[in-house]
C-alpha cells in the first residue's frame, strides 16, 4: 500500500491517474473486505466520477489539490450524500439518506481526495472493540481472529489491510487512538474544537473529536491540513486560524517527558516497553504526573454515559430492543445518573485542565501508552492486568480517556516492541499544538521506532 503522499505526488506528476488509483482501491476492497469487514458501504460509481473530475482538471492544466487522487473512506457516522448515516446502529439505517456530505468529507474532496465508502464501527460509537452485533466485527488485518479496536474499527481495519491509505474516524474517549494501537497505524486526535464535526452523528458533545488514521505522520498532516478551517455549522468549534503543520521542521529543542504514576501501571509489559522505546528515541528522560488522572477517567465515564443517554433517550423509549445490548444496557444506566454527578464532573474537568496546563509549561510533549494491551481476541470479555482480572471493554480506554477528557491533541504511533503485534504510544501536546505531536510522530518514523507494516 502506498502512502497518500506518494499517490498524490504521482497523480500530480502524471505518473498515474486518480481513476487508476480509485479502481485499484475498489479492487482491493472487493478482495479484502469479505474477510476484514471494514466497509459497510462502497460508493464505487460516485468514486469513479470524483476521480474522473480530478483527472479532467489535470488534463485541462488546472492545479491539483494536495490529496489529488487519494482514495479515502469514513466511519459510517459521517454523512455521505445518498446514504443513511447509520452510526453503527440498526435503528438509524431507517433514517432518510443524507442530503450532503459531512464537512470533513467535503474538505478532503476539495483537496482532490476520492471518497470510496463508509466504514463499520461500534454502535453509536459507544465502544472500544470494533465489534458490531448488526454488521459483524471489523477484523484486525494482522490477525483476523483479533479485534480491530473501536469504535472506529472499520477505519483502522481498512487502512491496515491496505484498502485505503487514509480513513476518518471519531474519538470521544479513545476511538481513533485505540484502533490505531490495535491495527498498528498512525492516528491523530486533534484538539477539541479544532475540526468541524458538522454532518457527523454525535455521541458525547463534550468530548467528540474527528480525525484521520493513516500510514504515516506525513499523511496525517496532509489530511489534517486539508480539513482545518472555520465552519459555522459546528457550534463547538473554536475560533482558531488555520495553522498548517510542518512536520519537516528541524527536529530538536523540545522538552519531552514520559507520563508516570497512573500511566505507568495497569497495563501489560509491552505497553510500557513501547513507551520506553519511543522515549529513548526522542531523548525523553524525565517523568511527569498528570494529577488525578484516575478521577479524570471516572469523570469522563460519567459524562459520557449521561450525554449518551440523553442523546438516545427517545430511541430507548421507542426501540430499546433494536440496540446492541451492550450499548443499550449502558445507556439505560446512563438515564439514571443524577444531574449533580454530571455537573460536578464538568467542574472537575476544568480543574483538571488547569492542572495539566502547568505540565505543558514545563514540557512540550508527554508520552503515554495508547492502550494497556495489544489487540484482544474477538469475543474476549476480560483482561488480566497486574494479576487482577477485569472487564475488557471499559479498560481498553484507561490511558486514552484522561487525555480526550480535556481535549488535548494526540498522535498515536504504532510501535512493535517485539515480534508480536503492534501497540500504540500517545504523543500528547498542549492544546492547538498538533504540529508538535505530528512532528514527533514523524521523527519516530524516521528513526524506525514507529512504523506501519503488513
Partner 1 sequence: MSASDEENITARAVDTAAALFGVAMQPEWRAAAMMNFATLTGAAGLVLAFPLEDEAEYGPVFHP
Instruction: At 448, give phi and psi (nearest 5°).
Output: 80, 5
Euclidean distance between CA atoms 20 and 83, whole angstroms: 25
Mark the segment that binds partner 1 (CB under 8 A) among 6-14, 64-72, 289-297, 375-383: 289-297
Q: Is 75 a catalytic residue?
A: yes
Q: Which of 50, 113, 119, 43 is nearest to 78 (CA)?
A: 119
Q: Which residues of 392-420 are buried (b: 16+ CB within 10 A; e: fewer)?
A: bbebbbbbbbbbbbbbbbbbbbbbbbeee
Asked if 230 interacts with partner 1 (CB under 8 A), we say: no
How is the chain split among helix, strand and coil, in percent rounded to 5? 40, 15, 45
Euclidean distance between CA atoms 150 and 173, whole angstroms: 10
Q: Pick the closer one to partner 1 by CB: 224 or 348.
A: 348
CB of 89 to partner 1, least distance (A): 17
Mark the segment that binds partner 1 (CB under 8 A) among 22-30, 215-223, 225-233, 313-321: 313-321
Euclidean distance between CA atoms 305 and 323, whole angstroms: 15
Q: Which of residues 410-429 bind partner 1 (CB under 8 A)?
A: none
Mark the segment that binds partner 1 (CB under 8 A) among 56-64, 95-103, 114-122, 311-319: 311-319
> Among 5, 138, 152, 175, which one carries the catalytic annotation?
175
Instruction: At 203, give phi and psi (nearest 5°).
Output: -135, -70
Residue 314 Cα distances to 90, 206, 224, 257, 331, angstroms = 15, 20, 35, 46, 11
The answer to whether the CB of 118 falls within 8 A of the CB of 76 is: yes
Binding to partner 1 by CB under 8 A, coded x per residue (else -) over 142-181, reads ----------------------------------------
Mark the segment that binds partner 1 (CB under 8 A) among 19-27, 58-66, 274-282, 338-346: 338-346
Q: Which of residues 347-366 bind partner 1 (CB under 8 A)?
A: 347-351, 353
Residue selected from 57, 254, 320, 390 as contacting partner 1 according to rule CB under 8 A: 320
With CB under 8 A as the rule, give the number of residues binding partner 1. 39
Residue 430 Cα distances to 61, 276, 309, 413, 422, angstroms = 42, 21, 30, 18, 26
Q: Is 285 a catalytic residue?
A: no
Mark the segment that binds partner 1 (CB under 8 A) among 71-79, 82-90, 148-156, 335-343: 335-343
> Among 5, 75, 152, 196, which one carries the catalytic annotation?
75
Q: Pick the closer one to partner 1 by CB: 19 or 194.
A: 194
CB of 322 to partner 1, least distance (A): 12
CB of 134 to partner 1, least distance (A): 17
Q: Which of residues 73-102 bind partner 1 (CB under 8 A)?
A: none
DSSP class per residue in 273-334: HHHHHHHHHHT--EEE--TTHHHHHHHHHHHHHHHHHHHHHHHHHHHGGGS-HHHHHHHHHH
What are 252's three cell numbers? 530538536
Asked if 393 interacts with partner 1 (CB under 8 A), we say: no
Residue selected from 344, 357, 379, 386 as contacting partner 1 according to rule CB under 8 A: 344
What are 51's three cell numbers? 476521480
HSE toward the beta carbon, residue 446, CA cutoff 13 A: 14
Asked if 24 interacts with partner 1 (CB under 8 A), we say: no
Which parts of this chain interact with partner 1 (CB under 8 A)? 193, 235-236, 292, 294-295, 297-299, 301-302, 305, 313, 316-317, 320-321, 325, 328-330, 332-337, 341, 343-351, 353, 394
- Mind telling me the catalytic residues? 75, 151, 175
Amino acid at each position: 500500500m502506498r502512502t497518500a503522499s506518494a499517490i498524490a505526488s504521482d497523480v500530480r506528476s502524471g505518473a498515474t491517474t486518480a481513476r487508476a488509483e480509485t479502481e485499484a482501491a475498489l479492487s482491493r476492497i472487493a478482495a479484502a473486505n469479505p474477510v476484514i469487514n471494514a466497509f459497510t458501504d462502497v460508493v464505487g460509481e460516485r468514486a469513479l466520477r470524483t476521480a474522473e473530475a480530478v483527472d479532467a482538471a489535470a488534463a485541462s492544466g488546472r492545479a491539483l489539490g494536495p490529496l489529488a487522487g487519494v482514495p479515502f473512506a469514513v466511519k459510517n457516522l459521517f454523512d455521505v450524500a445518498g446514504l443513511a448515516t447509520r452510526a453503527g446502529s440498526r435503528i438509524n439505517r431507517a433514517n432518510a439518506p443524507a442530503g450532503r456530505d459531512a464537512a470533513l468529507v467535503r474538505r478532503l474532496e476539495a483537496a482532490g481526495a476520492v471518497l470510496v465508502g463508509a466504514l463499520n464501527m461500534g454502535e453509536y460509537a459507544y465502544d472500544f472493540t470494533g465489534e458490531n452485533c448488526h454488521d459483524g466485527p471489523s477484523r484486525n488485518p494482522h490477525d483476523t481472529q483479533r479485534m480491530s479496536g473501536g469504535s472506529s474499527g472499520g477505519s483502522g481495519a481498512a487502512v491496515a489491510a491496505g484498502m485505503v491509505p487514509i480513513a476518518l474516524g471519531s474519538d470521544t474517549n479513545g476511538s481513533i487512538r485505540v484502533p490505531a494501537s490495535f491495527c498498528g497505524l498512525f492516528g491523530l486526535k486533534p484538539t477539541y474544537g479544532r475540526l468541524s464535526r458538522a454532518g457527523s452523528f454525535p455521541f458525547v458533545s463534550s468530548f467528540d473529536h474527528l480525525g484521520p488514521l493513516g500510514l504515516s505522520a506525513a499523511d496525517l498532516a496532509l489530511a489534517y491540513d486539508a480539513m482545518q478551517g472555520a465552519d459555522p455549522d459546528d457550534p463547538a468549534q473554536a475560533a482558531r486560524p488555520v495553522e498548517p503543520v510542518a512536520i519537516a521542521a528541524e527536529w530538536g529543542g523540545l522538552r519531552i517527558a514520559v507520563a508516570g504514576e497512573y500511566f505507568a501501571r495497569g497495563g501489560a509489559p509491552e505497553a510500557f516497553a513501547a513507551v520506553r522505546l519511543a522515549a529513548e528515541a526522542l531523548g525523553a528522560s524525565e517523568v511527569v504526573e498528570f494529577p488525578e488522572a484516575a478521577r479524570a477517567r471516572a469523570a469522563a465515564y460519567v459524562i459520557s454515559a449521561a450525554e449518551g443517554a440523553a442523546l438516545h433517550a427517545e430511541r430507548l423509549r421507542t426501540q430499546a430492543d433494536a440496540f446492541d445490548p451492550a450499548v443499550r444496557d449502558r445507556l439505560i444506566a446512563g438515564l439514571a445518573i443524577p444531574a449533580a454527578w454530571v455537573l460536578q464532573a464538568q467542574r472537575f474537568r476544568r480543574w483538571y485542565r488547569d492542572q495539566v496546563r502547568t505540565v505543558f509549561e514545563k514540557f512540550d510533549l508527554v508520552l503515554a501508552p495508547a492502550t494497556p494491551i495489544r489487540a484482544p481476541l474477538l469475543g474476549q470479555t476480560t483482561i488480566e492486568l497486574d494479576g487482577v482480572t477485569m472487564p475488557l471493554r471499559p479498560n481498553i480506554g484507561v490511558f486514552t480517556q484522561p487525555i480526550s477528557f480535556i481535549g488535548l491533541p494526540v498522535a498515536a504511533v504504532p510501535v512493535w516492541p517485539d515480534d508480536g503485534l503492534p501497540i500504540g504510544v500517545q504523543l500528547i501536546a498542549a492544546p492547538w499544538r498538533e504540529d508538535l505531536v505530528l512532528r514527533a510522530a514523524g521523527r519516530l518514523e524516521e528513526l524506525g521506532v514507529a512504523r506501519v507494516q503488513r
